[in-house]
Each structure stands twice: as structure tokens, then as C-alpha cells.
Amino acid sequence: MKTKFAIVLSGCGVYDGSEIHEAVASMLAVDKNGGSYQIFAPNTEQMHAINHLSGAETKPNRNMLEESARIARGDIKPLSEFDAGCFDVLLFPGGFGAVKNLCDYGAAGRNCNVNPDVAKAVKSMFERKKIIAAACISPVLLSRILGNITVTLGNPDENMIADIKYFGASHAVKNVSDVCVDSVNKIFTTPAYMSAANISEVFAGMDNLVKEILKYK
């Protein structure tokens, strides 16, 4: 039986949503290694919209579910419909949307709040002792929700490591394509574009992430 992944997106584009290379690499890695996936996103507005050519904020604002549907080719469901009983793995690619839309760490720092549907999905998987995975900056989100876990952002600045520790989590320094496995809590993380210099390194990390998950299962 195929391992079922739920992949959570936060929009379409690195600066205001999901990092597209990471999102596609996660889908490709799951499919390539014999798993299956369903894409989800919260059905709420993004923090803001960014012109990815100029870097300037633009109007109007956008909806996470509608924007994420671009990456999912329309095959996407609202995160409010997520049922932890139907999936083996919950996976968060990175992009600034993880800390702007799924939570507001990007603006509020240590005082950040988490989108209720995201918190519910993560906690429901954790309570069932199922696997939760994250790439790039998304481990910050998991640290905020769960606290006492071990994650990696690669080799980030000391401020980010301090914030992860403030949330009650631990940070492990890893190379770009490495996977941090917290086997006690079933948390799997990889640096992706927190460390990657190109798309090949991103795919190598995402592929290793999925392989480690499947090996564990």
C-alpha cells in the first residue's frame, strides 16, 4: 500500500507563499519513491502579495488556497478538510508563506500565532504518532506548535536557532541535502533553500527526506 502524504502549501511564490521549487520537488520525490499525495492549503488570505519581479508589495491581496491551486494544478483541498486518519505523513515545503501565512513569525517573531487549521492538522498527526515533515524555514512553524522536538534549518544565524530554542525545540546543524530525524517524535526536516544554492540541491534534500520517511515506515 502506498504511503499517503498530505502536502500543505501557503500560496504560490517564495516571497509571499510556498517556494515553488520546494513544493514541486516534494511532490516529485513522493511520486518517484512510490508514495501518493494530496495537496492542502488554508482557505484564507495571505499576509500580503509580492511582485516577484520587483520585490514590491502589490494589490490586491490573494487567497492561499486559490494561489496554491496554481502549483497543485487545481487538485487541492482546504486544510479545514484535512483528516489525520487518512494520511501517513504531513509535509510542509518552505517559502516565506510558512512564516507569513501559516504563522506570523516573520512579523511577530517569538510572539507569533499559528493559523488554526495548521495547528489542528499538526497536533492531530502528532497525537496519533504519525510522521510530520518540513523543509526550509517551515521547521520554525513546527517548533512553535509542538515545542519539544528536534529540527534543522541547515546552518542558520544564531538568532533563528535562539528562537527555535525559545519555543522549546532543539536545533541540529545539517548540510544542505541532509535530513534531521527526530525518531522519538517522528519529525523529519531538511534545509532546502535555507542552505541550497540551486534547484538540484533542493531536489536532493527533498528526495532524501522522503526516502528517510519511507525507510522509517
Q: Is the peptide bond before 60 cis (omega within 30 degrees of 0)?
A: yes
The backbone torsions φ and ψ at residue 152, rounded to the nearest 5 degrees and listed phi first, read -130, 145
| 136 is annotated as an active-site residue | yes
Active-site position among 12, 103, 136, 180: 136
Instruction: Point out the residues that are catalytic.
Output: 136
